[in-house]
Chains A and B, each alone.
Chain A
């Protein structure tokens, strides 16, 4: 099997008339990586994928695959294979014909095609189903056929455009693991497009988070979650409580934020924003629901938030407690279910503690819309 080739996007701009779909994207994807573009719908991630696959040309900038400039090379000539959101299996062809279509195009005889298709069917655990029509398969099976069809051409790069979005939750989770395993087995570069942060975080070596045509952050899933670079990333990836305020003082990589509602709070400065924050700046501080803890009332601590309980929801593995926050938004705290009946009662005043190294502050900016 091939060992994966690198994909580089250099200063890519993509415009449709006056509309800028992608703004100055620079991405370096290592060979053999599972790389995801994560962002809300309409952020330009599918446009980037189409530029890599060759279905559209960037207005500016270069797409390099294996170090080779792809300008002027059509989708049928690129070493990429694309898996469409709706899979786009050919409904009138049998499963094995679907899988081996790229070989048919290359003029390879039916016998050899059938052999290769059967090997791939074995790999995706669909042995003996080659003579069925796609319509006779279940959603997950179709999914796997689409993967096999894309892999049949031995591409250097596999491009996946939200291929799991049509599946139900259980199957989606199962397919995540399976996709990751297939990727490890074949060892080629996967570029994955998704709006589902769970998919991006579980499968990817690296994730690019996009908003309105701009890539906000490229990092490992872990870093994206723990060290978001912008308010958009902090609020889009996972759940986050936002505290608005002004910087009161800065000490090394920590800052005290004078928040609008919860007093002065201590927080770590986002690594990407070190040096970008000055005393008096408008800032946003983020604390995730799971790092908030209940504790005894403690006066004037810089890592204690006092708030009134609005309501509480039982979610099985956790309780979600919603407290009054600033700007009409609630503060959410997650408490693991350890057999309690309930955590709080309505109107009760709670003191929430956090470890300042688990909070992150950065210059105020645009949040992900809900």
Chain B
């Protein structure tokens, strides 16, 4: 009943022709660019990797073997676990969470500063300075970071010049470069939603709280952070999803011994030409990240609608 109202109102305000075009475009986007490709991946993930001749034949049946492989490896008796891939998976999820938390901690003070100095020319300049580096493509940025963090890179040279270290530190092997790269890659997606919500906070509320004796910690805990929660949630969701699903940064900046889960997916698709196995891995990553995001949103009492704010 209520849904019908929404649709009839939608057509009333936009007209039948324009309304149909809008609905058609949104429908096309949703169905052909999102739902169908994902469904075909889902379908792949439940099939065997068969030679072309057998596709569609009696052997082409649904199976859980691709998922079982992630958990148990090639051990058909299910006695041992596929510890290599599972470790990579867990490590990816935890690292993506760390990157997200690090970005929240880094962006919050910055967003607060930007949001509270409403629209001054200096702040606009700062925002432009933040955006411009993103005109450079991701690969180039990642390689640039690799150079900076390299053995004879800017950072090591500086540290040695200052006699803080006697020999170069292997930032790449210790994954420092990877985390820096991932953090940097999506930091604006965290900053801008936060900045938007904090900018909309009435400054009088902060002053009112201060007038009533609240400390800065109290003001942030009770006034600013609750107000900024939708922005933080929106930014955190994007950073977490994108970090967990990143490929370029781990490929370029990751240490030799540390794989990112997306690299495994990529290897299945590209090197092993086993799309079925790759699809299963990708689906596991997708479902896990969505589950984690929804759980965290539940814990922090954020509604889906808030994220769109």
Interface residue ranges, A against B (CB under 8 Å)? 53, 55, 74-77, 80-82, 84-86, 88, 90, 92-93, 101-102, 104-106, 149, 153
A-B contact pairs, 26 of them (CB 8 A): A53-B211, A55-B207, A75-B207, A75-B210, A76-B210, A81-B212, A82-B207, A82-B208, A82-B211, A84-B208, A85-B204, A88-B205, A88-B208, A90-B208, A90-B209, A90-B222, A90-B223, A93-B222, A101-B212, A101-B214, A102-B212, A102-B213, A104-B222, A105-B209, A106-B213, A153-B213
Residues of B within 8 A of A101 (CB): 209, 212, 214, 222
Number of A-B contacts (CB under 8 A): 57
Q: Distance (Å) between the CB of A65 and the closest chain B CB? A: 14
Q: Which of B183-228 contact A (CB under 8 A)?
A: 202, 204-205, 207-215, 218, 222-223, 226-227
Q: Could you tell me if B214 and A105 are in contact, using CB atoms closer than 8 angstroms?
A: yes
**Majority SS at the chain B contact face:** helix
Q: Which of B204, B215, B218, B227 lies at the interface centre, i.e. has the most chain A CB atoms within 10 A of its CB?
A: B204
Residues of A within 8 A of B205 (CB): 88, 90
- Produce 1/0 per residue, B125-161, CB < 8 A to A: 0000000000000000000000000000000000000
**B206: nearest chain-A partner, CB-CB:** A88
Cα A230 to Cα B114 with chains together (Å): 45
**B203: nearest chain-A partner, CB-CB:** A88
- Please report the total number of B residues contacting A with Cβ < 8 Å: 17
Q: Could you tell me if A92 and B218 are in contact, using CB atoms closer than 8 angstroms?
A: no
Q: Distance (Å) between the CB of A253 and the closest chain B CB? A: 47
Residues of A within 8 A of B208 (CB): 82, 84, 88, 90
| Nearest 9 A/B pairs, CB to CB | A88-B204, A102-B212, A88-B208, A76-B213, A84-B204, A105-B213, A105-B214, A82-B211, A92-B226
Q: Distance (Å) between the CB of A9 and the closest chain B CB? A: 19
**B223: nearest chain-A partner, CB-CB:** A90
Residues of A within 8 A of B214 (CB): 76, 101, 105
Residues of A within 8 A of B204 (CB): 84-86, 88
Interface residue ranges, B against A (CB under 8 Å)? 202, 204-205, 207-215, 218, 222-223, 226-227
Q: Could you tell me if A92 and B207 are in contact, using CB atoms closer than 8 angstroms?
A: no
Q: Distance (Å) between the CB of B101 and the closest chain A CB? A: 23
Cα A53 to Cα B212 with chains together (Å): 11
Residues of A within 8 A of B213 (CB): 76-77, 102, 105-106, 153
Residues of B within 8 A of A88 (CB): 202, 204-205, 207-208
Q: Distance (Å) between the CB of B201 and the closest chain A CB? A: 10
Q: Distance (Å) between the CB of A131 and the closest chain B CB? A: 17
Q: Distance (Å) between the CB of A187 and the closest chain B CB? A: 21
Q: Could you tell me if B227 and A92 are in contact, using CB atoms closer than 8 angstroms?
A: yes
Residues of A within 8 A of B210 (CB): 55, 74-76
Cα A134 to Cα B210 with chains together (Å): 19
Q: Which of A55, A76, A80, A104 lies at the interface centre, i.e. has the most chain B CB atoms within 10 A of its CB?
A: A76
Residues of B within 8 A of A85 (CB): 204
Cα A102 to Cα B213 with chains together (Å): 7
Cα A131 to Cα B199 with chains together (Å): 28
A153-B212, A153-B213 known; A105+B218 contact, CB < 8 A: yes
Q: Could you tell me if A75 and B211 are in contact, using CB atoms closer than 8 angstroms?
A: yes
**B229: nearest chain-A partner, CB-CB:** A92
Cα A55 to Cα B209 with chains together (Å): 12
Q: Distance (Å) between the CB of A80 and the closest chain B CB? A: 7
Cα A76 to Cα B211 with chains together (Å): 5
**B212: nearest chain-A partner, CB-CB:** A102
Cα A153 to Cα B211 with chains together (Å): 10
Residues of A within 8 A of B215 (CB): 76, 105
Cα A250 to Cα B204 with chains together (Å): 53
Residues of A within 8 A of B211 (CB): 53, 55, 75-76, 80-82
Q: Which of A74, A80, A105, A153 lies at the interface centre, i.e. has the most chain B CB atoms within 10 A of its CB?
A: A105
Residues of B within 8 A of A75 (CB): 207, 210-211
**A101: nearest chain-B partner, CB-CB:** B212
Q: Distance (Å) between the CB of A210 and the closest chain B CB? A: 22
Contact of A84 among B207, B218, B226 (CB under 8 A): B207
**B204: nearest chain-A partner, CB-CB:** A88
Q: Distance (Å) between the CB of B281 and the closest chain A CB? A: 41
Cα A82 to Cα B205 with chains together (Å): 11
**B202: nearest chain-A partner, CB-CB:** A88
Q: Distance (Å) between the CB of A279 and the closest chain B CB? A: 54
**B201: nearest chain-A partner, CB-CB:** A91
Residues of B within 8 A of A149 (CB): 212
